[in-house]
Chains A and B, each alone.
Chain A
Amino acid sequence: MKRIALLGMPNTGKSTLFNRLSGASARVGNWPGITVDLMSAKILIGGHIAELIDLPGLYDLHGYSDDEQVVRHFLCNNTIDLVMIVANSAQIDRQLSLALQIRALGLPCILLLNMSDEAKRAGITINTEEMSFKLNMPVVQISAKYGVRCPDALKAASLVLSKQKQHVDAEKISKQLQQDSNIEAEMEAIVEATVQMPMQLGDDLTNRIDKVLLHPWLGLPIFFAAMYILFQFIFNAGKPLQDGIAWLLAIFRTNALEPLLLNAPTWLSGLLLDGVYNGLGTVAAFIPIIVLFFLIMTMVEDSGYLSRAAFLVDALMAKMGLDGRGFVMVLMGFGCNVPALMGTRVMRSKNMRLLTMLVIPLSLCSARLQVFLFMTATLFTASQAPLVLFALYLVSFITIFITAMLFKNQYPNSEPFILELPPYRFPTGRQIWLRGWQEVKYFLSRASKFITIGVILVWALTHFPLDAAPASSATLAGKIGDCFSVVLNPIGIDSQLAITLIFGFVAKEIVIGALAVIYGLQGDALMHLMAQKLDWVQGMSFMLFTLIYTPCLSTIITLKNEAKSWAFAMLSIIWSLMLAWIVSFVFYQSARWLGF
């Protein structure tokens, strides 16, 4: 099978073209020599099936950024039959250098001048025939977003593929790569002869919008207001959808699964219903949030506002070793950590991305908020409760700050902070849906197995041995709770609450449910009993610990998938456990010492 790679500078529309050519058939593949995910798809070209690969963006074949190294490794370790170079027509005066570099490697290639729609609007005309002659490779001007002349691009590609007889050896490429070529003069000559640019450049509409959105005083307030509205929309619209899925799953359970398992032994029906089925339910609960998140994020990202956000908040973020795009994801983490972690993929520096992923699980997500709403209503008066919630949010911000400050030297960012500000664009409906669908597919294929296994494990811990009452101190979970009493007593957490913490490892939503099982009470009765058994200092300590100790199983699995490393996920767990214990300890002991 022939192999075709899409290559070009960042933001030139490689992924848009990839999606245009492959439909929704893309999958994530592993490639020798590189550790990041690359999308690939099988496409039909000139009557043959070929494999199309979407490479990360690069500015320069000899560049030093993480993405540039990925592309170099890919070229040196995989044989490639055709490189489709994608360039932005409106910026061809500087992007042509990449085409010349690829040609110098001796790789068969064609040049696709994308965004013909924007170039036309800006009054830029390119003589593609002349350029093709000068470059000695086919040149086609296309618009990937609107599908203009994409079939012609495929035709040109198939011609090159059919003409060429043997593979280009990857080893030869690797040798070629070591020689730097001087191509600046050639680029200028070609541009001079083939491109006509109007004197007045720059998108007027974009300039006018930027005047407001990047205004020295208005910019930041607008940014925070916009983030607040998006946040409210994603998570308020997501809630009823999540509830709807939970409702459907519950109906299926009571009407179909439970009658079916009526005669099965208790342990088996428990395993299947409370283990496997609940595990699948945990996975399903994330689907609406992930879809909504990426529907909105695709708009924010494609519109070009995310880069503007980086401009606005960079002064505040740089000290923490983070950047503006990371900051947006941390903010989104306050809704749900899982899509926020997936969203960090927009960050191109690996270390900065890892640092961002390390702090996101510390943001107080809506699932934790539910636990705190219940606990504060139980232990505090109506006038105190909002203050306590506010304090918890504050603690969440402080732990994020401390973690970033402590780890920023471990994950030093070597890439210069230089970003392009694209003109404002609006994605098509097709682009938006495709993205939501791709991300959900990715999450399901990578995470569902581990999440289900985790839920089954916790079920087993809280139900074995079988003769013990579920979630009681006689179960394995209870024994584990006892083992940890040495460390949990000094922070005011008794063995029954310790069992809740084990449940809370799966998902924070089930903590209240776990309390109900453990105490055998529900609703107001449960609140009464807890108010009797816990004083506010213990309750607060428990909340602090719950806030920090670990987000949830799904977050951990996502963390591992995105970082491609169990070690990194472990680091995150161990760090948050330690931090949680220290914070709770300091709080509990000083409150007691002060006489509360």
Chain B
Amino acid sequence: MNPASTQNLSSLKPGETALISNIDADNSLFHRLAALGFRNGKRVELVRCASFNGPLHVRIGSTDIILRRTEASRIQVQTS
């Protein structure tokens, strides 16, 4: 019914995976994210969130990464 919906990486729930559809970040953040494997079309998994609205733990390929919610909200993902 709802084939693909676009949302923020930070609004995924733990255990969910999604495809990256867009990264809207300034140059320095963009470079860093790209080097860590965040590119359009890649699959990410939200592993867990820290308590007290803390950072997110995501997995992309063979790399586990933690990032704050502000940075995660720049990454648009598509769940199917």
Contact B62 A202, beta carbon cutoff 8 Å: yes
Answer yes or no: A524 CB below 8 A from chain B CBs.
Answer: no
Contacts of B55 in A (CB 8 A): 310-311, 314-315, 417
Encode B33-48 as 1/0 by CB contact (under 8 A) with A.
Answer: 1111101000000011
Instruction: Report the Cα distance A97→B31, complex, angstroms.
Output: 12
* Cross-interface CB contact of B54 among A62, A63, A315, cutoff 8 Å: A315
In the bound complex, do residue A201 and residue B61 qualify as a contact, i.e. CB atoms below 8 Å apart? yes
Query: Are B59 and A202 in contact, with the CB atoms below 8 A?
Result: yes
Contact of B31 among A63, A216, A219, A311 (CB under 8 A): A63
A9, B35: Cβ atoms under 8 Å? yes
On chain A, the residues within 8 Å of B65 by CB distance are 418-421
> Which B residues touch A536, using CB under 8 A?
none
Q: A315, B28: Cβ atoms under 8 Å?
A: no
Residue A209 interfacial (CB < 8 Å):
no
Contact A316 B35 (CB under 8 A): no
CB of B16 within 8 Å of the partner chain: no
> Using a Cβ–Cβ cut-off of 8 Å, how many residues does chain A contribute to the interface with B?
43
Interface residues on B, range: 20 to 34
Is B50 close to A, CB under 8 A? yes
Q: Is the interface of B mostly helix, strand, loop or mixed?
A: mixed
> Which residues on the B side are within 8 Å of A216 (C-beta)?
48-51
Interfacial residues of chain B within 64-78, with CB under 8 A of chain A in the complex? 64-68, 71
Q: Does A184 contact B (CB under 8 A)?
A: yes
B18 to chain A, nearest CB (A): 17
Asked if residues B66 and A419 are in contact (CB atoms below 8 Å), the reply is: yes
Q: How far is the CA of A207 from the CA of B1 in the complex (A)?
A: 34
* Given A420-B64, A420-B65, residue A63 in contact with residue B52 (CB < 8 A): no
Q: Is the CB of B62 within 8 A of A90?
A: yes
> Is B66 in contact with A63, judged by CB distance below 8 angstroms?
no
B2 within 8 A of A: no
By CB atoms of chain A within 10 A, which of B35, B48, B62, B67 has the most? Answer: B62
Interface membership of A247, Cβ < 8 A: no
| A residues less than 8 Å from B37 (CB atoms) | 91, 93-94
> Which of A59, A316, A421 interacts with B32 by CB under 8 Å?
A59
Residue of A nearest to B72 (CB): A418
Asked if A303 CB lies within 8 Å of chain B CBs, one says no
Q: Note all chain A residues with C-beta closer than 8 A to B54.
A: 311-315
In the bound complex, do residue A307 and residue B66 qualify as a contact, i.e. CB atoms below 8 Å apart? yes
Asked if A93 and B32 sit within 8 Å, CB to CB, the answer is: no
Given the known inter-chain contacts A93-B61, A94-B61, A416-B28, please indicate yes or no for A310 contacting B66, CB distance below 8 A.
Answer: yes
Q: In whole Å, how far is B67's beta carbon from the nearest beta carbon of chain A? A: 5
Contacts of A64 on B, CB cut-off 8 Å?
A: 27-28, 31
Q: Quick one: which of A219, A311, A422, A423 has the most chain B CB within 10 A? A: A311
Among B36, B63, B66, which residue has its beta carbon within 8 angstroms of that of A311? Answer: B66
A197 touches B67 (CB 8 A): no
When the two chains form their complex, are residues A421 and B62 in contact, meaning their CB atoms are under 8 A apart? no
- Distance (whole angstroms) from the CB of B1 to the closest CB of chain A: 29
CB-based nearest A residue for B64: A421
Whether A184 touches B31, Cβ cut-off 8 Å, given contacts A202-B62, A310-B66, is no
Within 8 A of B (CB), among A283-322: 307, 310-316, 318
Least Cβ distance of B71 to chain A in Å? Answer: 5
A217 within 8 Å of B by Cβ?
Answer: yes
Contact of A22 with B by CB under 8 A = no
The minimal Cβ–Cβ distance linking A208 to chain B, given in whole angstroms, is 13
Q: Report the separation of the CA atoms of residues A423 and B64 in the bound assembly, to the nearest whole angstrom.
A: 8
Chain B residue at minimal CB-CB distance from A90: B62
Q: Mark A57-77, 1 if CB is under 8 A from B, else 0.
A: 001101111000000000000
Tell me if B28 and A214 are in contact (CB < 8 A): no
- Known A-B contacts A184-B39, A216-B51, A220-B51; the reply to A311 vs B57 at CB < 8 A is yes
Assuming the contacts A220-B51, A316-B52, asked whether A418 and B32 have C-beta atoms less than 8 A apart, the reply is yes
Complex: A60 Cα to B32 Cα, angstroms: 7
Q: Judge whether B5 is part of the interface by a CB distance below 8 angstroms.
A: no
A91 touches B61 (CB 8 A): yes
Q: How far is the CB of B48 from chain A (nearest CB, A)?
A: 6
For A184, the chain B residues whose CB sits under 8 A away are 39
| Cβ contact within 8 Å between B35 and A219 | no
If A63-B31, A93-B61 are given as contacts, then 14 extra A-B residue pairs at C-beta distance below 8 Å, sorted by A number, are A59-B31, A59-B35, A64-B31, A93-B37, A216-B50, A219-B50, A220-B51, A314-B50, A416-B32, A417-B66, A417-B71, A419-B66, A420-B63, A420-B65
6 A-B pairs (CB sep. < 8 Å): A65-B28, A93-B37, A416-B71, A419-B65, A421-B57, A421-B64
Closest 9 CB pairs of A and B: A315-B54, A59-B35, A64-B28, A315-B52, A421-B64, A94-B37, A418-B67, A60-B31, A201-B62
